[in-house]
Amino acid sequence: MRKILILAFISINLLAVGQSTQSKIQSLLNKVTSSPVSNNQNVEGLKNSLNVGIEKAVGKLGIENGFYNDPVLKLQLPPEAKSITNNIRLVPGGKELVNKTILSMNRTAEDAVKEATPIFKNAILKMSITDAVGILFGKEDAATQYLRQNTYAELKAAFAPKVKVSLGKPLVANISTTQTWNLLSSSYNGVANSMVGKFSRMKPINVNMEDYVTEKALDALFVKIAEEEKAIRTNPAARVNDLLKNVFGQLDKK
């Protein structure tokens, strides 16, 4: 009965939207009606897959070296700090400070990313049936984009205080990220200020490290979730239970 009501709801809405949108909704309607898997199973399967993907993504990033050992997602110094590395020989102990700052930034991201799981799961619980069906038969990163649109602001608000605290923790050699960055940037700025007129390319830098690490950690998290989503959609071996095998097996026939 519930499925009939859903189909009726979609059909009524076909009359109220443009032709392009009608075609998309009609395509979804055809998939729902022709699928041997029930609509409830489709919704349950999608939500199950998101929970699996989130747990794997957070599990891979939220451990020591989860960021630091990832060649793609490892946090590097902000772009504004390129002038530091270009002139590192002029900064006392500069190379060691750069290495410590980069390691500390990644430790901070690894610490903060654990905050994501409950926020993601709450968004999944609120997902409508129409959203779920559209995501299931949508693009290979449709679920990731849905989560990004519906959780980014909340995640950033949750990450920010965690990052702030973590940046102040003595994470590497009993020195915090904030301390290493402040020491590195102030040392560089001292040289840059004293060289004005001699080395015009050496300009003082001012970076909000809290905002930078928060945004980089979030971007990396969504990259990881997209990888997990793609695996479940395209790799039968990544479907860890019968529900996922049945629901996502439909995509193998497309």
Q: Can you tell me the distance from the alpha carbon of 188 to that of 84, in angstroms, rounded to the nearest whole number?
A: 6
Same domain, 5 and 90: no
Please report the pLDDT score of residue 216 as a whole number.
94
Please report the pLDDT score of residue 80 as a whole number.
78
**Among the listed residues 245, 228, 222, the one whose alpha carbon sits nearest the alpha carbon of residue 120:** 222
Please report the pLDDT score of residue 10 as a whole number.
42
pLDDT tens figures, 4-34: 444 444 444 444 444 554 455 445 445 444 4
pLDDT tens figures, 231-242: 988 888 888 888
Same domain, 55 and 170: yes
Please report the pLDDT score of residue 237 as a whole number.
86
> Which residues are paired to 175 by β-bridges?
172
Around Cβ 204, how many Cβ atoms within 10 Å? Answer: 14
Same domain, 49 and 71: yes
Phi/psi for 172 (5° steps) reads: -130, 125
Same domain, 91 and 128: yes
The number of folded domains in the chain is 2
For the packed helices 177-194 and 142-167, what is the interaxial angle rounded to 10 degrees?
80
Same domain, 4 and 115: no
> Which residues are paired to 172 by β-bridges?
175
* Residue 138 one-letter amino acid: G
Please report the pLDDT score of residue 17 as a whole number.
44
**Among the listed residues 159, 78, 146, 73, the one whose alpha carbon sits nearest the alpha carbon of residue 113:** 159
Taking only the tens of pLDDT, the chain with its 254 residues reads 444 444 444 444 444 444 554 455 445 445 444 457 788 888 888 898 899 999 999 999 999 999 999 999 999 988 878 877 777 777 777 788 888 889 988 998 998 998 999 999 999 998 888 898 899 888 989 999 999 999 999 999 999 998 988 888 876 677 788 888 888 888 778 877 776 555 556 677 777 889 999 999 999 999 999 999 999 888 888 888 888 888 888 877 66
pTM exceeds cut of 0.85: no
Same domain, 202 and 218: yes
CB environment 69-83: b (16+ within 10 A), e (fewer): ebeebbbebbeebeb
Same domain, 28 and 53: no
Same domain, 149 and 52: yes
Cα separation values, 125 from 30, 41, 43, 44, 136, Å: 25, 15, 11, 10, 16
**Among the listed residues 90, 84, 155, the one whose alpha carbon sits nearest the alpha carbon of residue 117:** 155
Please report the pLDDT score of residue 8 as a whole number.
44
Please report the pLDDT score of residue 254 as a whole number.
61
* CA 106 remoteness from chain centre: 15
Same domain, 30 and 109: no
Please report the pLDDT score of residue 20 as a whole number.
54
Q: Can you tell me the distance from the alpha carbon of 138 to that of 32, in angstroms, rounded to the nearest whole number?
A: 13
Please report the pLDDT score of residue 171 as a whole number.
65
Q: Can you tell me the distance from the alpha carbon of 39 to that of 139, in angstroms, rounded to the nearest whole number?
A: 19
**Among the listed residues 18, 63, 73, the one whose alpha carbon sits nearest the alpha carbon of residue 218:** 73
Same domain, 74 and 6: no
Structural domain boundaries enclosing 145: 40-253
Report the C-alpha dihedral over residues 187, 189, 191, 195, rounded to 10 degrees. 180
Within 8 A by CB and 6+ apart from 143, the residues are 46, 49, 50, 53, 135, 225, 229
Q: Can you tell me the distance from the alpha carbon of 66 to that of 35, in angstroms, rounded to the nearest whole number?
A: 39
